Chains A and B, each alone.
Chain A
Amino acid sequence: MAEAISIRGLTKNYAGRNAVDGLDLDIHTGECFALLGPNGAGKTTTVEIAEGFRPRDAGEVRVLGVDPQGAGLHWRNRVGIVLQTTGGLDLLTPREALASTAKAYSDPRDVGDVLASVGLDDKADTRIVGLSGGQRRRLDVALGIVGRPELLFLDEPTTGFDPQARRDFWDLIRSLAAEGTTILLTTHYLDEAENLADRVGVIAAGRLLALDTPEALGGRSAVEATVSWEEDGIRRRMTTSTPTAEVARLAARMPDGEVPALTVTRPSLEDTYLAMIAPHVGNLGPDAHDAGQPRDTTEVPA
């Protein structure tokens, strides 16, 4: 099957520094792909080039088989973009905003269905200015999916959500993925990537550092586990490639067969990720953010 997004040797320069520096990346049709990276890594620049919002300096980019730079309205009809929340729709209701947006697409979803799927049916006819931050974010997603896109760009979708709202949101994204929508997600939340993504890519200093499933990223599934327990009032730990056998041995040693305060851990996706980007975060001091250079900012929706 053709790739939904194919990027070869992508380069974008801001003020003499390559924000994206020869990036290669393929995103398969139908997968949910999470792009991770520290602020200033080139995530937003890469995504905005793929969205057709920014020109590139070098390299090849194909999105749904089309070069997004100068792609026409026919291409826009197949792509959904969930942007940061705007205040420009404040005076409308979610139903009005969605109905108007839907009219631009050739085969839009039913507005009522979309409102229900993002859990806004009871707020459908309330002015948007009165919605909470989480409700507005869900409206942003509704606006991104109402055109029934083949490919959906999701930029830090759950920043500022409470835990329950995030779980609900993940369910929504999973249902879109189940319908066959290709999803490119950028996020700062590693648990979000772990829960949603088929594959994750880690980008730093404008290059791809790693590309794998969340479970296998950085070889963490093969890494030794840490077994930790309490004995004689002291916290003890050991690293081992055979944690099951070690736990059985410990259990046999204990008088009542129960190991006090036992934990078995492998590096979390976050541990792996932080270790991976550590060498690159050092050179990204405050002065790396040159004027005019776009940053991967973490904006908390109002």
Chain B
Amino acid sequence: MTAIALGLDRTVLELKMYSREKEAVFFSFLFPILLLALFSVIFSGQFGGKDTNGMTAGGYFLPGMLSAGVLLTSYQTMAMSVASERDDGTLKRLRATPMPPVAYFLGKVGLVATSSTVQVALLLLVARVFFGVHLPTTADRWAVFALVFTLGVFGGTVLGIAYSSMATSRTIGAVVIGPLLILQFISGVYIAFDSVPTWLQQIASLFPLKWIAQGMRSVFYPSSLASAEMAGSWETGRTALVLFAWAVGGLVLCVLTFKWFKRGTT
């Protein structure tokens, strides 16, 4: 079989394993959807008036939840699954077969592409149907959405695989989830970015999540809210550039640092 065909087969296998892991399904796949529902219900009284530009709570939190979803299904899932596969010998077992290594990575990319696409579709559907969020109607907004989503998911995947080498399966939970949670709070995912202190905004700007969230806001928020951003505009070009740089950097890092065997063994 060719590497592509094996990659497809690995994708199906990865999706089977992913969907059978109930904890993963809950904490990475359904989590942003549940949070969106929760926030929409809790904060529904504070939205809808003039000072919120007519936005509902659902509409306000949707970009943040989309951004969180992108990083949870790509970065967090990859970092944790690859670390445990390296630790428990799954990678060594694969290395012992004539499977071309690229098939393994294609399987991972296939898993993340599928799960994040379904997740985003569900998020949009829930936002539209249950919380009356108005989705964009212009092609250029959806084009920005596709760009931010694709670059975000790809970058998250390669960075997650690279990051998996930082810890063992015993510690990876804390090492991945902790920093990611902090990043979510300072990048405008759960808390409005303009209420984050400037120096924290500047730190957040070094990482891709802030740019994903900003890109998502530019797609789903009224144009008038661009003035509330750091630069006073959506910075779509810069967003694409930063996310592209992180994706390429992550890919290089991934290729340079990937190990099939855990530290201290082979």
Contact = CB atoms under 8 A, between A and B. Distances in A.
B13 A88 contact: no
Interface in A68-94: 73-74, 76-77, 79, 81, 83-84, 86-89, 91-92
B264 to A, nearest CB: 6
A96 B93 contact: no
B95 to A, nearest CB: 8
Interface residues of B, number: 28
Interface string B228-266: 000000000000000000000000000000000100111
Interface in B78-111: 84-85, 88-90, 92-93, 95-100, 103
A56 B16 CA distance: 39
Counting chain B CB atoms within 10 Å of each CB, the highest count among A73, A88, A106, A292 belongs to: A88
A84 B88 CA distance: 10
Q: Which DSSP category, helix, strand, loop or mixed, fits chain A's interface?
A: loop
Given A88-B88, A91-B21, A103-B1, A54 B266 contact: yes
B16 A104 contact: no
Contacts of B225: none
A53 B1 contact: no
Contacts of B5: 103
Contact of A96 (B6, B16, B88, B92): B16
B6 A104 contact: yes
Contacts of A104: 1, 6, 97-99, 103
B100 A76 contact: no
Contact of A91 (B20, B96, B98): B20
B266 A101 contact: no
Given A86-B93, A89-B90, A292-B264, A77 B98 contact: yes
Counting chain A CB atoms within 10 Å of each CB, the highest count among B6, B9, B93, B266 belongs to: B93
A48 interface: yes
A104 B103 CA distance: 10
B37 to A, nearest CB: 28
Nearest to A82: B96
Given A103-B1, A294-B266, A76 B98 contact: yes
B96 A83 contact: yes
B17 interface: yes
A13 to B, nearest CB: 15
Nearest to A78: B98
Interface in A109-156: 127, 143, 147
B16 A92 contact: yes
A105 interface: yes
A77 B103 CA distance: 16
B89 A84 contact: yes
A84 B87 CA distance: 12
A14 to B, nearest CB: 11
A74 B98 contact: yes
A240 interface: no
Nearest to B10: A100
5 contacts: A51-B96, A73-B98, A73-B99, A76-B96, A88-B88
Interface of B: 1, 5-6, 9-10, 13, 16-17, 20-21, 84-85, 88-90, 92-93, 95-100, 103, 261, 264-266
Given A83-B96, A91-B21, A294-B266, 14 more contacts: A53-B95, A53-B261, A73-B99, A73-B100, A76-B97, A81-B96, A83-B92, A88-B89, A91-B16, A91-B20, A143-B93, A147-B97, A292-B264, A294-B265
Interface of A: 48, 51, 53-54, 73-74, 76-77, 79, 81, 83-84, 86-89, 91-92, 96, 100-101, 103-106, 127, 143, 147, 291-292, 294
